[in-house]
Amino acid sequence: MADSSFDVVSKVDRMELDNALNQASREIATRFDFKNTGTKIEMSGEKILVESETEERAKAALDVLKEKMVKRTVSLKYLDTAEPMLSGKVYRIFSAIKEGISQENAKKIAKLLKDEGSKNLKTQIQGDELRVSSKSKDDLQEAIAMIKSAPLDFAVQFQNFR
């Protein structure tokens, strides 16, 4: 019997992220406490930029974005947010979008599965993803449950379960 496998990946759902950004922008445009503060949220490439005339409004706008992301089931672990910086008269907050599993994070997951998982599990790092395989699908389901319950500082999804 052939091995069954699945891939552990960390990829943000771009459509849901765009929807959360659009909802946050609309809310900021209509809310009274953001009137005449020059607050805006925009995305360019792999970065999200929040701008406002005051540091408090910039942080509040970022909170609105985070709230919309949670409602759209986009994990906040994808954001790598920097401190607010003053640029001229405008405060800017840059948030980079983290995708992919780094080599050390993939090794952490592999070590977790090797230490606590079934002895039949095999792991293989493939670029920015991790393939887990075994003869038993039950072992793979236990591995998924173990990874979900682990306190990881990055978001993970499971693909290609076969």
Residues in the chain, how many? 162
Domains of the chain, residue spans: 4-10+101-159, 14-97
Q: What is the DSSP string of 107-125?
A: HHHHHHHHHHS-TT-EEEE
Question: Exposed e or buried b for every residue in 99-135, given b needs 16+ CB within 10 A?
Answer: eebeeebbebbbebbeeebbeebebebeeebbbbbbe
CATH number of 14-97: 3.30.70.990
Give the whole-angstrom CA distance, residue 145 versus residue 154: 16
Q: What's this model's pTM, rounded to 2 decimal places?
A: 0.84
One-letter amino acid for residue 17 of the chain: L
Strands (DSSP E) found in 12-153? 40-44, 47-52, 79-81, 85-87, 90-97, 122-126, 129-134
97 DSSP β-pair partners: 79
In this prediction, residue 70 carries a pLDDT of: 95
In this prediction, residue 100 carries a pLDDT of: 87
Matching residue, tokens 């978001």:
155
Residue 145: is it exposed, middle or buried by C-beta count within 10 angstroms (0-12/13-18/19+)? exposed
Q: Do the Cβ atoms of 37 and 53 come closer than 8 Å?
A: yes
Whether 4-10+101-159 shares its CATH topology with 14-97 is answered yes
pLDDT in tens, the chain (162 residues): 568 888 999 999 999 999 999 999 999 999 998 888 889 999 988 899 999 999 999 999 999 999 999 999 999 999 999 999 998 899 999 999 998 888 998 999 999 998 888 888 899 998 888 999 998 888 889 999 999 998 888 888 899 888
CATH number of 4-10+101-159: 3.30.70.860
How many helices (H) and strands (E) would you count in the chain? 4, 9
